[in-house]
Structure 1
Amino acid sequence: MLKLGIIGTSAITHNFVTAAHESQGYQLSAVFSRSLDKAEAFAKSYGNLSLFTDWADFLASDLDVIYIASPNSLHFHQAKAVLEAGKHAIVEKPMVSTPAELHILKDTAAKHQVLVFEAARNHHEPAFQQIRNFLTDKTILGAYFGYAKYSSKMPELLAGQTPNVFSADFSGGALMDLGIYPVYAAVTLFGKPQTATYKASQLPSSVDLRGSGQLFYDGFYVTIEAGKNMTSYFPSEIYTDQGTLTLNACQHIQSAVFCSNDGQVTELAIDFEVDTMLTEAQHFAQAIERKDLELATDWLIAAQAVHDTLYTMRQDAQIQFKADLDVN
C-alpha cells in the first residue's frame, strides 16, 4: 500500500483521500500546510497522521506519493520539488500553467525515475472507451462540450476582492479551472486539435469569467464552453454522419443516447463510479505499483496535448498569467 502525503487542505483534497482509501491502494500518512491549525483540522478525520509546516521536512519524510491540491500557480514548483525528492506526484488539474512547465516536469520525473500524473478525472472514465467504440464506424462532424458552474468565490470577487481562482498571479479563470474538462474530453476522444480559438468575458487582469472556444480538427471542429460566473445545464453532444450522440456531461458521464438520422434512439450502457475520483486514484496506484512507465507516458501525452491547447486558447484571448514570465 502506498504511503500518501497531501498538500492542500480544501474539500477536493478530502475527496481525493476518500477515493484513495476506497481504492485500497493508498494510506494517508502525512499532511503539509503552511498553517498548523489547518493541518490539524484536516487530519481530525483520519486519525494519527504526521503534520508538517516545514517544506524540507515534509519532502524528506517517508512517503511514496504526494497529492498536490494547492493554488494552480504553485503546482509546478511543488511538483518539481516532490519529483526531485524521489517521490511520485499526483497533481490536481491544471497540473501546470504553461506547456513549458509540463516539459520540465516530464524531464524531472524521468531523471529521478518517478512518475507524475495530472488528476484530470474525466480522462480516466471508462465511458470514453465505450463512446470511442460506439463511434468507430461513424464519421465525426463536430461536437459540443461545456462545463460552467457558478463559483462559490463569486461573492468575494463582486465585493472587490481577488480570490485565487480569479487571480492572474495564481493562474485562475474559467478556462483553466473548468474548461480543462471539455478540452480533455475532446483530446480523449479525438486527439490533439490542429489549432484552437477562445473568446471570453474577462476581468481587467485578463482572467476569464466565462468563455467559448473552438478546437479545429481535420474536417470538423469542437465547441468548448467554460464559465465560473454562471451555471449551465446543457448536455454535451457529438455529431456524426449517422446521427447525434448526447451525453449528460463531458465529465462524470452517466448516460449516452444516440438519435440516428432516421429517428431511432439507442441508449448506450455506460459504466461509471459514484465517486468521481475513484477510477483515477485506482489507475495512478496501479501504474506506480507496476512501474508502468508506458501507461504513465500515454497519460502525459494527453496532458501535453491538453495544455498545448489551453495555452493556444489563452493566447487567442490574451489571458496572461504571472507564470507566463517564469518557466524555471
Structure 2
Amino acid sequence: MIKIATIGTSKIVEQFIDAAIKSGSFKVSCCYSRDKAKARDLINKYSIYAVATNKFETIIDESDAVYIASPNGLHYEQAKYFLLQQKHVLLEKPLTLDYKQAVELSEIAIKNKVIFMEAYKTIHLPQFKYLIDFTKTHQPFMMNLNLNRITSRINNLKNGVIDNIFDYNLGRGSTYDMLVYPVELSVSLFGKVQSVKALGQKLENNSGLNDIVILKHECGVLVNITCSKVTNGIIQNEILSDSITLTFTDAINIKDIKIYLSDDNDNPKEIDYETDDNNLVYELAVFSKMINDNDFTLRDNLMNISLEALHTLNRIELDQRR
C-alpha cells in the first residue's frame, strides 16, 4: 500500500481522502497544514491513523507520495521540494502558473525516476472515452465549451476582499483556476495548439474574472471557450462534425452525453454509463498503477498534455494583455 501525504485542508482534500480510502491502494499517512490543528481536524473527521504536521520534513519521513492542493502560486516550490526528495507527486491543476517552471518539475521527475502527475480528473473518467471515440470516428472540425460557475467567494469579491484564488501571485482567478479545465480538455482531444485568440475581463490586479478564448489546434480543429467565475451559465458543450454532433453538460465531469444526427435533432441518442460518486477514484487508480508498475511512458504522455495546456494558458494570458 502506498503511503501518501496531503497538503491543504480544502474540500478537494476531503474528497481526495475519501477517494484514497475507497481505492484500497493508498494509506493517508500524513496531513499537512500551516495550522496544525486544521490538519488534526481533518484526520479526526475521517477517523484515519495519520500524523498531523506543519513541517515538510515530517512528510518526507512518513510518506512515499504527496498530494498537493495548496494555492496555485505555491505549487512550484512545494512540488520541487518533494520531487527532489524522490517522492511521487500528485499536483492539483494547474501544475504551476508558469510553463517553464512546470517543465523544470517534469525534468526533475524524469531524472529522479518518480511519478509526477497533474490531478486533472476529467480525462480519467470512464465517460471520457466516448468523447475520444467520437473524435476518432467522426473527424469533428469545431468544439464549443462553456464553463461558467460563480465563485463561493463572490461576496468577498464584491466587498473588495481578495481571496487566494483572485490573488495574482497565488491564483490569478478564472484564467488559471477555471479555464484550465476546458483548455486541457481541448488539448486532450485535439493535441497541440497552433494559435490563440483571447479576450478577458480582469480585476485591477490582473486576475481573471471572465475569459473568451478561441484555439486553433495543429490538426485544424477550432475550439471556442467561454469561462467565468462570476456568473452561472446554462449553455451546454458540443463537438461538431458535418453530419453528427455530440453534446454534454459540465466540462469538468462530462455528464449527459447525447449524440444528434444532423437530420434528426429531436431524437438524440443518450449514452449510458456509470461512475463512482467520488470521481477522484479514477485518477487515483491511474496514479497508483503508474507508481506500482513504474509506468514512466504513461507518466510522460499525461505530462505532455498537462504541459501543453499550461503553455496554452500562458499564451492566453499574454494575448489578453494586448
Q: 1:275 aligns with which of 275, 278, 287?
A: 278
Q: Quote the residue 1:317 is aligned against.
A: 320
Q: CA deviation at 1:7?
A: 0.5
Give the Cα–Cα distance (whole angstroms) in 2 for the partners of residues 281 and 266 of structure 1. 31
Whether 1:266 aligns to 2:252 is no
Q: CA deviation at 1:56?
A: 2.6
SS in 2 for 1:114: coil
Q: Quote the residue 1:37 is aligned against.
A: 37
Q: Deviations over 1:272-291 (max 9, x none)?
A: 33222111011101111111
The 5 Å alignment of 1:65-76 reads 65-76=65-76
Runs (5+) with no aligned partner, structure 1: 320-328
Letter in 1 for 2:207: V
The 5 Å alignment of 1:112-191 reads 112-191=112-191
The 5 Å alignment of 1:212-251 reads 212-217=212-217, 218-251=219-252
Q: CA deviation at 1:16?
A: 0.8
Give the Cα–Cα distance (whole angstroms) in 2 for the partners of residues 224 and 166 of structure 1. 20
Give the Cα–Cα distance (whole angstroms) in 2 for the partners of residues 57 and 278 of structure 1. 26
Q: Deviations over 1:216-273 (max 9, x none)?
A: 1244310112111111122110111112211122221232211111116322334533
Q: Quote the residue 1:254 is aligned against.
A: 255
Q: Deviations over 1:25-44 (max 9, x none)?
A: 10111011111221121111
Letter in 2 for 1:41: D
Q: Quote the residue 2:9 is aligned against.
A: 9
Give the Cα–Cα distance (whole angstroms) in 1 for the partners of residues 252 and 48 of structure 2. 32
Letter in 1 for 2:310: H
SS in 2 for 1:198: strand
Number of aligned residue pairs: give it.
Answer: 318
Give the Cα–Cα distance (whole angstroms) in 2 for the partners of residues 56 and 198 of structure 1. 42
Q: 2:295 aligns with which of 255, 268, 292?
A: 292
Give the Cα–Cα distance (whole angstroms) in 2 for the partners of residues 257 and 169 of structure 1. 40
Give the Cα–Cα distance (whole angstroms) in 2 for the partners of residues 294 and 150 of structure 1. 38
Percent of aligned pairs with the same amino acid: 26
Letter in 2 for 1:290: D
Give the Cα–Cα distance (whole angstroms) in 2 for the partners of residues 136 and 267 of structure 1. 19
SS in 1 for 2:179: helix
Give the Cα–Cα distance (whole angstroms) in 2 for the partners of residues 307 and 237 of structure 1. 23
Q: Quote the residue 2:57 is aligned against.
A: 56
Q: Quote the residue 1:192 is aligned against.
A: 192
SS in 2 for 1:136: helix
SS in 2 for 1:44: helix
Give the Cα–Cα distance (whole angstroms) in 2 for the partners of residues 230 and 317 of structure 1. 20
Would the aligned equivalents of 1:90 and 1:116 in 2 still touch at CA under 8 Å?
A: yes
SS in 1 for 2:171: coil
Letter in 1 for 2:79: A
SS in 2 for 1:6: strand
Q: CA deviation at 1:204?
A: 0.7
Q: 1:137 to 1:112 in 2, by over 3 A?
A: closer
SS in 1 for 2:141: strand
Give the Cα–Cα distance (whole angstroms) in 2 for the partners of residues 134 and 224 of structure 1. 19
SS in 1 for 2:59: helix
Q: Deviations over 1:75-107 (max 9, x none)?
A: 111000011111100001112111101111011
Give the Cα–Cα distance (whole angstroms) in 2 for the partners of residues 194 and 239 of structure 1. 19
Q: Quote the residue 1:102 is aligned against.
A: 102
Give the Cα–Cα distance (whole angstroms) in 1 for the partners of residues 268 and 169 of structure 2. 48
RMSD: 1.6
SS in 2 for 1:161: coil
TM-score of the pair, normalised by structure 2? 0.94
Give the Cα–Cα distance (whole angstroms) in 2 for the partners of residues 282 and 103 of structure 1. 24
Q: 1:39 to 1:194 in 2, by over 3 A?
A: same
Give the Cα–Cα distance (whole angstroms) in 1 for the partners of residues 49 and 249 of structure 2. 41
Give the Cα–Cα distance (whole angstroms) in 2 for the partners of residues 135 and 115 of structure 1. 29
SS in 1 for 2:62: coil
Would the aligned equivalents of 2:198 and 2:213 in 1 still touch at CA under 8 Å?
A: yes
